[in-house]
Structure 1
Amino acid sequence: MVWVRSEYAGELAVLSTWFSALIPWNVFLGSVAGGSIVLVRFPLLEVQYAFGVPLARGTSVRDPVSAYQLQAGQTVASAYAAWLVGAALLLAAIAVSVYYYRAEERAEAWSVDPVSVLGALLAVCGVVFAVASLLLTGGFLGVDLGVGGGLDGISIPVGVVFYLTFGALLLRAEQVG
């Protein structure tokens, strides 16, 4: 079954890749040390909102490398390492999509279809971010953030569904000629 016609596949590939960079792959809602914390993890940054948590009030923003370095030695370090891999894959997808957008004819002359390349990259991003989400779920309970206690809450892999769906759509797109 074909879901995307060939004349729209390129546009869908580029737009879905760019949209994927804007949606969070994971949202964590939890409580720690008498307060609440919300972590919104986008592919290329993490936004932390802390309410009523000593030493962690307000908002902070980290890139994946800084977030990984902060968690080094913690039980969630492997989840943050997976996030780094997912971020690198999405950066590669963004680079391919920008090239495809700017030089469509040259990209379509590649030995591989750029729509399939972007579909595969997004699907792999979905799998990697799903693994990171699973590692967070298993590791976040009881992790010490240095704010006086462990975290307890829920981790929601929001973007994972989108990445996998976009990847599947692009891989199933009808190909020209």
Structure 2
Amino acid sequence: MSSNWRISSVNGALLAAYFIPVWTIIAFTIMVSPIHGLYERPSVSVALYASDHLQLAKMATVRLAWLLALARITVVAFFVVFLALLTRPSMRKSGGCDEALAVALCLGSVLSFASMLLASKAGELEALRMHAAELLMLLGTAIVMLVEKPVKSAAGASVPKAAAPAGELSLQQP
């Protein structure tokens, strides 16, 4: 049973266990009360940067808050798809669930990196630490996915190479 699980699958499942509830709560807080939700700790760096540097109106700030919530829910959706695909042993063994994890990691990394940069510009040290920790978790899983050996398919290994006809030489033979 342990040979069915890849390191990136286990790491992705642990990441999904963190990001799905946390980012869903943050996104729903923003959806219910956009301005109040935007000025809470997970999103305060975006709010302060938008209010200080972009000087957005109230409706533009609400739209920015909803866009941030939509981005977080999109990452959560890809993590949910990854977990759904991970439950099927055939998809887990073949690595078919890696695409959903890769999209979630990419979008989440971009969002966390942008939030981290905005937190450094706004001078929010606690938000900077939180976004940096999230970014490091996402990048660590991405590196594990890149370093891990590709999945060997059982169908490709069992098919023997076709022999060249007697009169013809393949390009590899001298």
Question: Which TM-score bucket, shorter chain as reference?
Answer: 0.5 to 0.7
Q: Deviations over 1:129-165 (max 9, x none)?
A: 111112212333576xxxxxx7345231122123313
Q: For the residues of structure 1 that align with 2:78 and 2:124, how far apart are their CA atoms? A: 29
Residue 87 (str. 1) matches residue 76 (str. 2) = yes
Q: For the residues of structure 2 that align with 1:140 and 1:90, how far apart are their CA atoms? A: 25
Corresponding position of 1:118: 97
Code of the residue aligned with 1:151 in structure 2: it is E
Aligned-CA RMSD value = 3.5
Distance 1:174 1:160, change over 3 A: same
Match of 1:71 among 19, 22, 38: 38
CA contact (8 A) 1:129 1:160 kept: yes
TM-score (structure 1 length as normaliser): 0.52
Tell me which protein shows more helix as a share of its residues: 2
Q: Alignment identity in percent?
A: 9
Corresponding position of 2:109: 130
Corresponding position of 2:57: none
CA contact (8 A) 1:46 1:67 kept: no
Q: Looking at both structures, which has the greater relative contact order when contacts are Cα pairs under 8 Å and sequence separation is at least 6?
A: 1
TM-score (structure 2 length as normaliser): 0.53
Give 1:1-177 correspondences, 5 Å limit: 8=3, 10-12=4-6, 14-22=9-17, 42-46=18-22, 63-69=25-31, 70-71=37-38, 74=47, 75=50, 77=65, 78-98=67-87, 100=88, 104=89, 107=90, 115-140=94-119, 151-153=124-126, 154=128, 155-156=131-132, 157-168=135-146, 172-177=150-155
Tell me which protein shows more strand as a share of its residues: 1
Distance 1:127 1:95, change over 3 A: same
CA contact (8 A) 1:80 1:132 kept: no
Q: For the residues of structure 2 that align with 1:86 and 1:166, how far apart are their CA atoms? A: 19
Distance 1:151 1:121, change over 3 A: same
Q: For the residues of structure 1 that align with 2:114 and 2:69, how far apart are their CA atoms? A: 9
Distance 1:124 1:169, change over 3 A: farther
Q: Deviations over 1:49-73 (max 9, x none)?
A: xxxxxxxxxxxxx714324431299
CA contact (8 A) 1:79 1:136 kept: no
Unaligned ranges ≥5, structure 2: 32-36, 40-45, 51-63, 156-174
SS in 1 for 2:5: helix
Q: For the residues of structure 2 that align with 1:92 and 1:128, how far apart are their CA atoms? A: 14
